Amino acid sequence: MTIGEKINTIERLVIDSSRVSRYLGYPRKVPIWKISFKLPKNCYLFRTKDNSDIALEIESMEGFAIIPSLSKEESIRRLKTLIPSADLKGEINRV
C-alpha cells in the first residue's frame, strides 16, 4: 500500500517532473498532455517512481498537470493515480 502525502491546495505548490529522458528520447517520443483540475481544500498526493515524470502546479484549489502518456485516456488514469480526488476541468490538450 502506498501512503499519500496530505497537501493544502490553497497554498501554491509546484512539483517538477523528474526522469524526463524517459519520454524525450529518440526514437519513440511520448506525447505530453496538459490537464486542468479542481481539488478539495485538503487532499492526498500519491507520488511514486512510476509517476515522478508528472509535473504539477496547484493553487487556490485548482491546478494543472503536465503528463507524458501515449493517449489522453492514459494521461487521465495517471493523474487519478497521483491525485485520486482531482476533478477534471476544461479540455485536455496535447502540448
pTM listed for this prediction: 0.87
Instruction: Count structural domains, the chain.
Output: 1
pLDDT digits over 19-77, tens only? Answer: 665 555 555 678 899 999 999 999 999 998 888 899 999 999 999 999 999 899 999 99
Using the Cα atoms of residue 39, residue 21, residue 74 and residue 66 in order, give the sign of their dihedral. positive
Q: Across the chain, where does the E strand assignment appear?
A: 5-8, 13-15, 32-38, 42-45, 55-59, 62-68, 87-88, 93-94
Domain that includes residue 23, residue range: 5-94
